[in-house]
């Protein structure tokens, strides 16, 4: 017990020191103390800290002002708190850092909170991340959030899991590209369940030239 308590006392200062070392010389000095404080708040609340550090480093790499870096990191922390609140309200717990980030990212992409909560409640653990990603893709292309979520829930009931849910969203988008309306695209794919074809692999050339999402040169960091 004494050993555990001693280690707990050391963990906080060591973690804080490691964050400061990573930020030193890479973000404006005026932002250092506040960003470090926000990271420590996340630690105390059992929230992921790496997204906050990465947000600060992203701003520093793009030579964004200290005020804007702090604002972006603060907003990222608020987004993760909102994600945790949603997971708690959905009766899901304990949850991992990856699940907090998946929910946070889905909310950030414009999927309404009640729809995200519906998917969290309805889907098994191993399928939530893929389903949330698929839902965000469909919403980004103008599909009704409730209707697209309903399709994904139906797909899981028809034994589609994990990455297969991404095949569902890809099939819907392909139907849209072929000239169907959005309601028609959803209905067509629903009729195909569970025999939705795998999404085609991108050409090698596009893979070689691909960049990670959000990696646009010269842009200021977005919250």
Q: Rounded to whole angstroms, what are the CA distances from 102 to 13, 30, 68, 108, 118?
A: 29, 31, 24, 10, 14
Structure confidence by residue, pLDDT tens digits, 166-192: 999 999 999 999 999 999 999 999 999
Query: Distance between CA 150 and CA 34 in Å, rounded?
Result: 42
Say what the pLDDT of residue 203 is: 61
Cβ atoms 188, 163 nearer than 8 A = no
Give the ranges where the chain is alpha helix by DSSP (H).
2-23, 29-44, 50-61, 66-89, 97-108, 113-122, 125-140, 145-157, 164-177, 182-192, 204-208
From first CA to last CA, the distance across the chain in angstroms is 42
Say what the pLDDT of residue 192 is: 96
Local confidence pLDDT in tens for the 223 residues of the chain = 443 333 333 334 445 567 888 898 899 999 999 999 999 999 999 899 999 999 999 999 999 999 999 999 999 999 999 999 999 888 866 778 888 999 999 999 999 999 999 999 988 777 788 999 999 999 999 999 999 999 999 999 999 999 999 999 999 999 999 999 999 999 999 999 999 999 877 665 544 454 443 333 344 344 4
């Amino acid at each position: 017990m004494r050993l555990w308590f001693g280690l707990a006392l050391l963990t906080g200062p060591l973690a804080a020191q490691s964050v400061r070392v990573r930020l030193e010389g890479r973000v404006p000095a005026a932002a250092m103390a506040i960003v470090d404080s926000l990271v420590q708040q996340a630690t105390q609340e059992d929230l992921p800290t790496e997204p906050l550090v990465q947000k600060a480093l992203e701003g520093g790499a793009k030579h964004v002002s200290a005020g804007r870096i702090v604002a972006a990191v603060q907003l990222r922390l608020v987004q993760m708190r909102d994600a945790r609140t949603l997971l708690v309200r959905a009766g899901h717990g304990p949850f991992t850092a990856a699940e907090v980030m998946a929910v946070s990212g889905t909310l950030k992409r414009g999927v309404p909170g009640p729809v995200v909560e519906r998917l969290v409640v309805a889907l098994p653990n191993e399928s939530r991340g893929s389903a949330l990603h698929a839902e965000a893709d469909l919403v980004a292309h103008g599909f009704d959030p409730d209707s697209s979520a309903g399709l994904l829930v139906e797909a899981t009931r028809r034994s589609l899991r994990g990455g297969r849910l991404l095949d569902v969203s890809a099939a819907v988008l392909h139907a849209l590209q072929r000239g169907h309306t959005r309601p028609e695209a959803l209905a067509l794919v629903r009729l195909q369940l569970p025999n939705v074809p795998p999404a085609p692999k991108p050409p090698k050339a596009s893979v070689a030239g691909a960049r990670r999402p959000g990696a646009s040169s010269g842009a200021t960091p977005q919250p």
